[in-house]
Amino acid sequence: MTTSPKKAPQLLQVPSPRTRCDTELTEVGGTSSASLSTMISHQQQQQHPDPKTTTTTTTTTSTTPGGNWELDRKNSSSSSSSGSAVLDEDVEGVVVTSGGKDDGRSAFANHAEFLAGMISMAVGLGNVWRFPYLCQRNGGGAFLIPYVILLVVEGMPLSLIEIGLGQRFGRGSIGVWKGIHPGLGGLGVASTAVSFLVGLYYNVVITWCLYYLFRSFTTQLPWAECPVVNETRVEECAKSSETQYFWYREALNSSESIGDFEGINWHMFVCLLLAWLIVFLTMRKGIQSSGKVLYITAVFPYVVLAIFFIRAVTLRGAASGLLHLLTPKVRTSLN
């Protein structure tokens, strides 16, 4: 009497609990089984999980007398601590990601854009015109000693911490500090307020630069000579200098006192509006639009510094000026 060989059990692929499946499972060991997908879906409806969940992917393997079968379970949900600030952790070989909704925050397209962004934040208008002025005013070469010490001890570590926290949490200033501890949210608010005020301040400086840029498209620069009225130089310009007269009378159109309001300075108003328009066009799509501009903002300050340096060293008395700038004035620094 001949007996037919026993059928080997088939490999079962159970669909995700979140996916509706109407297909019945195939026979296992010759016996028809109930739909596991229907049972799992029914279990999911009976439960009331916490809205903040984490998603993991696990694989369970079981051995039966008739053979091996593998159950691939994906997108299963497990509760996470709502107050936890940990984003990605390796728990028993399974990577657990943080809960909450994905806000779709965009990221830099590549490492070059990220590096350009860091350079743009570190090097700006302050390095071009403010730092040499402060260095000369506060002791020249002696000013560089405490500056370098504070740069190494305080500036660089704080920058690295700020970059690390931003990459770790992937949030803004307020979200990062609240993620560390809810009581530190005020630091994020203060940081945002400071950034807002600095943006207002530097946009005014950019307004001045735009005005001088437009006025420089002439054969002779308007601040190179004093204006002449009735074949006579303006007395106020002759007593000060050409550049100071142009700055206060032409560019700013400043009045004698704060009570003497003469209306809106329209040429500066238009330049300020243009400066904010540039900011809007740069930031309207977030990193996707500003990332390309970062290549220019990272390189441009160095180009300007190189041009200023070449121009400065070719002027008359450049050696005396550099000597005065770099000569340590210890008494001035101590004051």
**Residue 45: predicted pLDDT:** 54
Q: Is residue 320 a part of any domain in this protein?
A: yes
Query: Is residue 136 in a domain?
Result: yes
Q: Indicate whether 239 belongs to any domain.
A: no
Residues 6+ apart with CB under 8 A from 80: 50, 52, 53, 54, 96, 98, 99
Range of the domain at 321: 108-140+286-334
Residue 2 lies in a domain: no
Determine the Cα–Cα distance for residues 88 and 97; give it in Å rounded to an integer.
Answer: 5
The string of DSSP letters for 186-216 reads HHHHHHHHHHHHHHHHHHHHHHHHHHHHHHT
Which residues fall in the annotated binding site?
122-123, 127
Question: Tokens at residue 275, please?
Answer: 């400066």
Angle, CA of 77, 83 and 88, to the nearest 5°:
55
* Helical spans, DSSP H, in 253-315: 266-283, 287-313
pLDDT for the residue 65: 43
Domain-located, residue 252: no
* 87 falls within a domain: no
Structurally, the chain folds into a number of domains equal to 1
Residue 206 lies in a domain: no
- Residue 195: inside a domain, yes or no? no
DSSP calls for 60-125: EEEEETTEEEEEEEEEEEEE--TT----EEEETTEEEE--S--------SSHHHHHHHHHHHHSSH
Look at residue 82 in the predicted model and tell me its pLDDT: 40
pLDDT for the residue numbered 105:
66
Cβ neighbourhood burial of 57 (10 Å; 0-12, 13-18, 19+): exposed
Q: Do 132 and 325 meet the contact criterion of CB atoms below 8 Å apart?
A: yes
Per residue of the chain (335 residues), what is the pLDDT tens digit? 445 555 544 444 444 444 444 444 444 444 444 444 555 555 555 554 544 444 444 444 444 444 443 333 334 334 334 433 444 444 444 444 444 444 566 777 788 888 888 888 787 777 777 888 888 788 777 888 888 899 999 989 988 888 888 888 888 888 898 988 999 989 999 989 998 998 898 899 899 999 999 999 998 899 988 888 888 888 888 888 899 999 998 999 888 777 777 788 999 999 999 999 999 988 887 777 777 788 888 888 888 888 888 988 898 888 888 888 778 877 776 76
3-state percent breakdown (helix, strand, coil) of the chain, nearest 5: 55, 10, 35
Which distant-in-sequence residues (6+ apart) come within 8 Å of 170 by Cβ? 87, 105
**Helix (H, G, I), strand (E, B), or coil: what is residue 53?**
strand
Contact 301, 124 (CB under 8 A): yes
Q: Which residues are annotated as a binding site for Na(+)?
A: 122-123, 127
Longest C-alpha distance within the chain, in Å?
132
DSSP state of 286: T
